[in-house]
């Protein structure tokens, strides 16, 4: 800008010099030496004045136009939502700040842009795990919740932790569990073992064993030394069925279901359907699956337990009962038997008739239990089935 103004001023000064009036020739006059010579009056350079005035006017015009242009544009701003805390202490999704949202003014003017949600926490991709880790059981833990935290099946934890003896109810606070990297089990290689024989034994494929990076098998010459413990990805084995320790008693000839324990009672009502045996329909600990042929229903100590269907009580006894604690068993006369375990108390007796929804006891924490809940089983002819497929 300074150079531009200097050029304007120089232009007008040059123009003024061209049109400047030259003084007329004045004849020389002889004057005495003693008389001082008068100095001519200095005339005002009008063109210089004009050039400065024009320069100032140009500057004022430029500044004025700039200010006018800035003030004439509508004010724009970008609205950014501030994060708010939800009940759980995390920023709610609806209040996440937006990056790249359209800049808008009060009159709706603005420039569209691409909207993108700002992530307050950087998402770090989860890397595959090839080594086992150790987990210490805390109060309130359950086999199902631990397995879900590590994205494993609950039976996998039973496979690799022999101290549980294939029974999820043996989980206790302070116990240290080995958590494998993937579903499957560990196996120590023996003399004569091959990938094919071991894969067949544990219901998997040789490639699963060879290709698992944690086994560190040389793919150019696949072999495993005797005594080395390897992971069998996807492998499985039979789990001990602790439910069979508590035999199912029938209620009479041609009227009961399971005859394993012999005939106990005769006659009685027959169930036409089944309902939930507790007020809650939530699973509190373990669901139905290998190693746990029942569901653990959420129930606080002392909450009522209901008969899932009409029938006859074929077992009502307290004590340890193979870890079941205080237990009630009902034969429904239609091929089904239901079992209610870990009760704090029960208020029905042997061979008593009950209707669907009758209160048969209260939830508790007796026997091999890890926190108050209702252990609920459904059996057909002494074999367990998933209660979820029976109750409504």
Q: CA torsion angle for 231, 236, 242, 248 (degrees, to 10)? A: 170
Pinpoint the alpha helices (H) of the chain. 2-18, 46-72, 143-149, 154-160, 195-201, 206-211
**What secondary structure does DSSP assign to 15-80, as a single string?**
HHHHTPPPPPP-------TTSPPPPPPPPP-HHHHHHHHHHHHHHHHHHHHHHHHHHHSPP-B---
| 90 has pLDDT over 60 | no
Cα distances (Å, whole numbers) of residue 227 to 22, 87, 193: 119, 53, 11
List, for residues 338-375, the tens digit of each pLDDT value.
Answer: 999 999 999 999 999 999 999 999 999 999 888 899 99
Percent of the chain surpassing pLDDT 70: 73
Say which DSSP state 186 is in: E
List, for residues 257-287, the tens digit of each pLDDT value.
Answer: 655 555 668 778 999 999 999 999 998 878 8
Per-residue confidence (pLDDT) for residue 246, from 0 to 100: 87
Per-residue confidence (pLDDT) for residue 245, from 0 to 100: 84
| 29 has pLDDT over 50 | no
Q: What angle do CA 165, 170, 175 make, to 5 degrees?
A: 100
pTM for the model: 0.60
Distance CA 390, CA 378 (A): 8
Q: What angle do CA 208, 212, 216 make, to 5 degrees?
A: 130
Per-residue confidence (pLDDT) for residue 132, from 0 to 100: 94
pLDDT band at 118 (very low <50, low <70, confident <90, very high): low
Give the residue, 338 or 34, on which the prediction is more confident.
338
Per-residue confidence (pLDDT) for residue 82, from 0 to 100: 52
List, for residues 39-84, the tens digit of each pLDDT value.
Answer: 555 555 677 778 788 888 888 888 888 888 877 776 555 554 555 4
Distance CA 279, CA 176 (A): 34
pLDDT band at 94 (very low <50, low <70, confident <90, very high): very low
Per-residue confidence (pLDDT) for residue 63, from 0 to 100: 85
Per-residue confidence (pLDDT) for residue 85, from 0 to 100: 47
Return the structure tokens found at 130: 């090839």
Per-residue confidence (pLDDT) for residue 387, from 0 to 100: 94
Per-residue confidence (pLDDT) for residue 324, from 0 to 100: 93
List, for residues 198-242, the tens digit of each pLDDT value.
Answer: 999 999 999 999 999 999 999 999 999 999 999 999 999 998 888
- Phi (first) and psi of residue 365, to 5 degrees: -140, 35
Lowest mean pLDDT among 5-9, 19-23, 263-267: 19-23
Distance CA 90, CA 72 (A): 43
| 193 has pLDDT over 50 | yes
List, for residues 288-332, the tens digit of each pLDDT value.
Answer: 888 888 999 999 999 999 999 999 999 999 999 999 999 999 999
| 96 has pLDDT over 70 | no
Q: What is the mean pLDDT of the chain?
A: 81
Per-residue confidence (pLDDT) for residue 145, from 0 to 100: 85
| 88 has pLDDT over 50 | no
Per-residue confidence (pLDDT) for residue 277, from 0 to 100: 96
**All domains of the chain in start order, with CATH:** 133-233 (3.10.350.10), 242-389 (2.70.70.10)
| 164 has pLDDT over 60 | yes
């Amino acid at each position: 800008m300074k150079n531009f103004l200097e050029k304007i001023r120089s232009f007008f000064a040059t123009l003024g010099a061209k049109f400047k009036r030259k003084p007329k020739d004045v004849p020389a006059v002889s004057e005495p030496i003693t008389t001082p010579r008068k100095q001519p009056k200095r005339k005002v350079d009008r063109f210089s004045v004009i050039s400065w005035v024009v320069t100032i006017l140009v500057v004022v015009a430029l500044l004025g136009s700039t200010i006018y242009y800035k003030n004439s544009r509508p004010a724009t701003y970008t609205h950014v939502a501030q994060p708010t805390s939800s009940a759980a202490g995390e920023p709610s999704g609806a209040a996440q700040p937006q990056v790249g949202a359209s800049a808008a003014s009060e009159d709706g003017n603005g420039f569209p842009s691409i909207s993108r949600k700002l992530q307050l926490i950087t998402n770090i991709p989860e890397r595959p795990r090839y080594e086992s880790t150790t987990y210490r059981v805390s109060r309130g833990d359950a086999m199902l919740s631990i397995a879900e935290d590590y994205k494993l099946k609950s039976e996998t934890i039973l496979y690799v932790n022999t101290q549980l003896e294939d029974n999820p109810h043996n989980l206790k606070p302070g116990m240290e569990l080995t958590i494998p990297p993937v579903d499957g089990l560990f196996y120590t290689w023996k003399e004569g073992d091959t990938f094919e024989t071991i894969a067949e034994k544990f219901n998997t494929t040789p490639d699963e064993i060879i290709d698992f990076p944690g086994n560190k098998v040389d793919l150019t010459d696949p072999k495993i030394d005797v005594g080395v413990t390897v992971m069998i990805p996807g492998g499985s084995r039979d789990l001990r069925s602790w439910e069979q320790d508590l035999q199912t008693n029938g209620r009479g000839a041609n009227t009961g279901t399971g005859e394993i324990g012999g005939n106990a009672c005769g006659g009685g009502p027959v169930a036409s359907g089944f309902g939930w045996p507790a007020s809650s329909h939530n699973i509190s600990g373990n669901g139905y699956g290998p190693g746990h042929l029942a569901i653990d229903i959420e129930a606080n100590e002392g909450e009522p337990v209901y008969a899932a269907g009409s029938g006859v009580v074929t077992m009502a006894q307290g004590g340890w009962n193979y870890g079941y604690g205080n237990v009630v068993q009902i034969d429904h006369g239609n091929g089904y038997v239901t079992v209610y375990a870990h009760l704090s108390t029960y208020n029905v007796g042997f061979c008593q008739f009950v209707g669907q929804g009758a209160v048969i006891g209260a939830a508790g924490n007796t026997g091999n239990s890890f926190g108050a809940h209702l252990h609920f089983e459904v059996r057909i002819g002494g074999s367990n089935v998933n209660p979820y497929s029976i109750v409504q």
